[in-house]
């Protein structure tokens, strides 16, 4: 669907953004913090990663204000407090933005080896990533919410843009760590067809499978960025529950 949103942005000149809210289905094993079927808010915007982060933060702030206005009693009864929600709103108020920490900055902050793991087991060329424990260490250091940025490029999808001056090693990507961990995934896209082709070669992905994606940029080059938020993960942060408890409550409501 992200690719479709990139396509939709080219339907109309100067269209500022496109979005959808829908279920996502993935062939992955669920665990205490991850569902393989979940509701997804996804947005694609004109502009760079900074603009996407600004819109994402504005969305989270608006959603949280609305939840507190309309459902504060339910939140209080379930979470026992609304302090975490009001604290986040105070950080996002006015011109304030949430802190950003690059992966290279985050790694030295980790207190133990179980905070880190290879993106792919036994293949260090793909780089390292934070485990859920590592994400929680970082959140604790930054008051509960922080953007983790500039991941190793081979550890993210090919369509994320390269950080200038990184020699193709780092991606213009960011994860908002909140509650259970990554709650929003965000990235800037390659604007030109040659950049996509270079990234496909870098990731050893057959170019033939993405000829239409390359052609889209040949017809209409655009600088775009996008993000997706797992709705259940946001609600687990709001209600201070685990995914497993959220499923249980959802079943009771049905």
The confidence score (pLDDT) of residue 34 equals 81
| 142 Cβ neighbours under 8 A, 6+ residues apart | 98, 99, 101
**pLDDT over threshold 90, residue 64:** yes
**pLDDT over threshold 60, residue 54:** yes
Please state, rounded to an integer, the average pLDDT across all residues of the chain. Answer: 92
243 and 251 Cβ atoms separated by less than 8 Å: no
Q: Which residues of 129-156 are buried (b: 16+ CB within 10 A; e: fewer)?
A: bbbbbbbbbbbeebebbbbbbbbbbbbb
176 vs 228: CA distance, rounded Å: 10
What does the block give as tokens for 40?
Answer: 């997804």
Mean pLDDT calculated for residue range 103-123: 95
The confidence score (pLDDT) of residue 244 equals 53
| 229 Cβ neighbours under 8 A, 6+ residues apart | 40, 41, 42, 56, 59, 60, 183, 184
- In CATH, what number does 2-253 get? 3.30.930.10
Helix runs in the chain, H state only:
2-8, 49-79, 83-92, 103-106, 132-141, 193-202, 211-219, 231-239, 243-253
**pLDDT over threshold 70, residue 246:** no
Query: In this predicted model, which residue has the larger pLDDT, 132 or 24?
Result: 132
How does pLDDT run across 139-193, given as a tens digit for each residue? 999 999 999 999 999 999 999 999 999 989 999 999 999 999 999 999 999 999 9
Query: Where are the chain's structural domains?
Result: 2-253
**pLDDT over threshold 90, residue 198:** yes
The confidence score (pLDDT) of residue 129 equals 96
- At 250, is the pLDDT very low, low, confident or very high (cuts 50, 70, 90)? low
The confidence score (pLDDT) of residue 194 equals 97
* pTM for this model (two decimals): 0.92
């Amino acid at each position: 669907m992200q690719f479709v949103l990139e396509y939709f942005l080219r339907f109309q000149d100067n269209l500022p953004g496109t979005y959808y809210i829908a279920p996502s289905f993935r062939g992955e094993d669920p665990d205490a913090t991850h569902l393989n079927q979940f509701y997804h808010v996804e947005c694609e915007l004109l502009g760079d990663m900074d603009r996407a982060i600004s819109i994402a933060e504005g969305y989270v702030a608006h959603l949280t204000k609305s939840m507190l206005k309309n459902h504060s009693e339910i939140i209080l009864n379930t979470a026992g407090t609304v302090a975490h929600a009001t604290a986040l709103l105070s950080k996002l108020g006015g011109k304030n933005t949430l802190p950003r920490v690059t992966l290279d900055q985050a790694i030295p902050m980790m207190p133990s080896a179980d905070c880190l793991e290879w993106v792919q087991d036994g293949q260090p060329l793909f780089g390292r990533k934070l485990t859920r424990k590592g994400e929680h260490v970082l959140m604790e250091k930054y008051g509960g919410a922080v953007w983790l940025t500039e991941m190793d490029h081979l550890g993210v999808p090919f369509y994320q843009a390269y950080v200038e001056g990184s020699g193709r090693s780092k991606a213009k990507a960011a994860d908002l760590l909140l509650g259970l961990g990554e709650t929003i995934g965000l990235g800037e896209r390659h604007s030109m067809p040659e950049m996509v082709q270079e990234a496909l070669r870098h990731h050893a992905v057959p170019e033939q499978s993405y000829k239409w994606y390359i052609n889209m940029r040949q017809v209409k080059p655009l600088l775009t960025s996008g993000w997706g938020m797992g709705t259940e993960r946001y609600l687990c942060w709001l209600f201070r529950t685990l995914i497993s408890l959220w499923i249980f409550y959802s079943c009771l409501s049905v």
